[in-house]
């Protein structure tokens, strides 16, 4: 059963809190086996913006490399900054556009994808299309100059960048500046740009971190792409709050078919959201079945040669079963169901499970970010890295999948096309092994395993096929 475009219904924001028991495919409560998380290597600083906020407010999903755990390390320029890995033979190094490009999209190439910290060391080749919109809260006054500094240091192509205030709901005139969210925004725009240099980078700033303002900014982001980029693109959300009763009504804010009916459903846009940084457990919007939930890994390197050794589940990566996004057989705009059945072969008629796809998120193997508003260069981790980086990789792949399938034989139907593509490869003999890295070690409270797991999802990208 597929949902016909002809019966699309408008929905209003619903922000009522509540609790719903998790229900499995047999109608019984889902029981999770939660164990010990992988130990964190090195010092970690958690900014105030990344701590759980009051109800109906979101928090950022990044953490920062720290020498003492009390304050973030601020560097004048990138340099080698290794941390002992979980095994004597491994280390975790600060990662760069060149090393991450080499590992995940095979551009540039290099033996072992060893990080090069020198100015001008480069990154992935100049590909991409349309636009990647980044939805965040508050203002980063230095956003444009931060991106220019980041690109200039690494020798990346200059970005086509714009900043948009999501103030049309009357919550503010100009979003107030906020140091925690400013570093988040610098991270998001810089690492979305790394993998898709030709895509326009659009920073959409909400007036506050309330769900009301962020969901409004989500609508601004989608509408901006529909109005200005007929090729479409991606919308990335590196923030999270708690699940709540009634969130199903808000799921459509993260789908292109809620907006691109104005172009005959011909503008494909795909949303991403961080899975969280507190280990096993879920939040919203990550559990929305229409989007890609972005989990996190640790990148381990040979302690002597610094060549890539393996990826492991990062202990902070969020993941698990949603309490709200249950399985339904009649279309409601949200829920798992025939329109979003990508996890059916694994879980049957059961709750949404996160994450879907992962990227390096361990601050010990974190990525370099420049934030002038915060005073310099930082090594940053968290699934805030995963969401924009994966959005850039999917943009780079160029399959232009959204949530509308048009056919000359029917009026079309809504489906979670990108997740369909990702999950369909799990059972293949050749495609999965060639296109993904299957993370099998580490734990976020739920151990990584062969094929899908609740820490890293399908795994991490290798190249552009199947993305």
CA pair distance 23, 334, nearest whole angstrom = 16
Q: Does the pLDDT of residue 103 top 50, yes or no?
A: yes
pLDDT tens digits for range 292-340? 999 999 999 999 999 999 999 999 999 999 999 999 999 989 999 999 9
Number of alpha helices (DSSP H) and beta strands (DSSP E) in the chain: 8, 23
Residue 141 lies in a domain: yes
Q: What is the mean pLDDT of the chain?
A: 92
pLDDT tens digits for range 456-467? 999 999 999 999
Q: Does the pLDDT of residue 65 top 80, yes or no?
A: yes
> What pLDDT is stored for residue 82 in this prediction?
81
> What pLDDT is stored for residue 33 in this prediction?
67
Supply the CATH number for residue 150's domain: 3.40.50.200
Residue 215 lies in a domain: yes
Residue 124: domain span: 3-7+45-461
Q: Does the pLDDT of residue 403 top 50, yes or no?
A: yes
> What pLDDT is stored for residue 9 in this prediction?
25
Quick one: which of 314, 261, 289 has its CA closest to 42?
Answer: 314
More confident residue, 22 or 335: 335
Pairing of strands 410-414, 404-407: antiparallel
Residue 21 lies in a domain: no
CA pair distance 413, 67, nearest whole angstrom = 52
Whether the CB-CB separation of 175 and 208 falls below 8 Å is answered with yes
**Assign residue 279 a region: left if phi > 0, alpha if psi is -120 to 50, beta otherwise?**
left
CA pair distance 194, 109, nearest whole angstrom = 15
CA pair distance 256, 310, nearest whole angstrom = 36
What is the helix (H) or strand (E) element at residue 46, kind and residue range? Answer: none
> What pLDDT is stored for residue 411 in this prediction?
74
Number of structural domains in the chain: 1
CA pair distance 129, 126, nearest whole angstrom = 10
> What pLDDT is stored for residue 332 in this prediction?
85
Residue 234 phi, psi (nearest 5): -135, 155
Residue 25 lies in a domain: no
> What pLDDT is stored for residue 28 in this prediction?
33
Q: Does the pLDDT of residue 413 top 90, yes or no?
A: no
**Tokens encoding 357:** 């796809």
Which of the four pLDDT bands, split at 50, 70 and 90, describes residue 32?
A: low
Q: Does the pLDDT of residue 30 top 50, yes or no?
A: no
Quick one: which of 277, 288, 351 has its CA closest to 321?
Answer: 351
CA pair distance 138, 214, nearest whole angstrom = 10
Exposed, middle or buried by CB within 10 Å (0-12, 13-18, 19+), for 79?
exposed
CA pair distance 463, 397, nearest whole angstrom = 8
CA pair distance 297, 159, nearest whole angstrom = 27
Length of the chain: 467
CA pair distance 213, 44, nearest whole angstrom = 30
Whether the CB-CB separation of 235 and 135 falls below 8 Å is answered with yes
**Tokens encoding 351:** 């709750």
Residue 74 phi, psi (nearest 5): -115, 125
**Tokens encoding 167:** 């103030």
What is the helix (H) or strand (E) element at residue 386, kind and residue range? Answer: helix 383-397
Residue 35 lies in a domain: no
> What pLDDT is stored for residue 12 in this prediction?
27
Residue 17 lies in a domain: no
Residue 73 lies in a domain: yes
Residue 128 lies in a domain: yes
Q: Does the pLDDT of residue 15 top 90, yes or no?
A: no
Got the DSSP string for 119-155? TT---S-S---SEEEEEEESB-TTHHHHHHHHHHHHT
Least confident of 70-79, 285-294, 321-330: 70-79
CA pair distance 284, 215, nearest whole angstrom = 11
% of the chain exceeding 90 in pLDDT: 85
What is the helix (H) or strand (E) element at residue 309, kind and residue range? Answer: strand 308-313
pLDDT tens digits for range 114-148? 999 999 999 999 999 999 999 999 999 999 999 99
> What pLDDT is stored for residue 433 in this prediction?
97
């Amino acid at each position: 059963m597929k949902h016909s475009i002809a019966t699309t219904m408008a929905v209003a924001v619903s922000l009522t809190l509540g609790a719903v028991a998790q229900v499995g495919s047999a109608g019984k409560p889902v029981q999770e086996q939660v164990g010990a998380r992988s130990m964190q290597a090195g010092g970690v600083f958690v900014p105030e913006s990344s701590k759980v906020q009051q109800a109906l407010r979101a928090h950022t999903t990044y953490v920062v490399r720290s020498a003492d755990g009390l304050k973030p390390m601020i560097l004048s320029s990138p340099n080698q900054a290794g941390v002992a890995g979980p095994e004597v033979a491994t280390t975790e190094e600060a990662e760069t556009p060149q090393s991450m490009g080499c590992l995940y999209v095979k551009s540039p190439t290099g033996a072992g994808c060893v990080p090069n910290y020198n100015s001008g060391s480069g990154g992935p080749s100049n590909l991409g299309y349309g636009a990647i919109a980044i939805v965040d809260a508050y203002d980063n006054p230095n956003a444009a100059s931060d991106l220019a500094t980041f690109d200039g240091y690494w020798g990346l192509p200059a970005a086509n960048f714009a900043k948009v205030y999501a103030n049309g709901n009357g919550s503010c005139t100009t979003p107030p500046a906020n140091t925690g969210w400013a570093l988040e925004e610098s991270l998001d725009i810089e690492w979305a740009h790394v993998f898709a240099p030709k895509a326009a980078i659009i920073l959409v700033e909400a007036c506050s971190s309330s769900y009301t303002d962020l969901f409004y900014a989500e609508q601004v982001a989608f509408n901006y792409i529909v109005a200005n980029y007929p090729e479409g693109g991606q919308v990335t959300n590196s923030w999270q709050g708690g699940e709540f009763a009634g969130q199903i009504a808000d799921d459509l804010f993260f789908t292109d078919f809620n907006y691109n009916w104005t172009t005959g459903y011909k503008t494909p846009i795909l949303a991403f959201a961080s899975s969280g940084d507190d280990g096993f457990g879920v939040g919203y919007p990550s559990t929305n079945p229409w989007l890609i939930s972005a989990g996190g890994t640790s990148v381990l390197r040979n302690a002597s040669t610094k060549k890539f050794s393996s990826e492991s589940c990062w202990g902070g990566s969020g993941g698990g079963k949603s309490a709200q996004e249950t399985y339904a057989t009649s279309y409601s705009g949200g829920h798992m169901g025939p329109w979003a059945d990508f996890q059916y072969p694994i879980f049957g008629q059961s709750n949404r499970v996160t994450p879907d796809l992962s990227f390096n998120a361990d601050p010990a193997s974190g990525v370099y970010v420049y934030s002038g508003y915060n005073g310099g260069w930082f090594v940053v981790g968290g699934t805030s890295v995963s969401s924009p980086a994966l959005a850039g990789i999917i943009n780079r792949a160029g399959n232009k999948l959204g949530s509308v399938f048009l056919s000359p034989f029917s009026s079309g139907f809504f489906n979670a096309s990108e997740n369909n593509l990702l999950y369909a490869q799990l059972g293949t003999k050749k495609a999965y092994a060639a296109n993904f890295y299957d993370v099998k070690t580490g734990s976020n409270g739920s151990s990584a395993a062969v094929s899908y797991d609740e820490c890293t999802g399908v795994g991490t990208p290798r190249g552009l096929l199947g993305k």
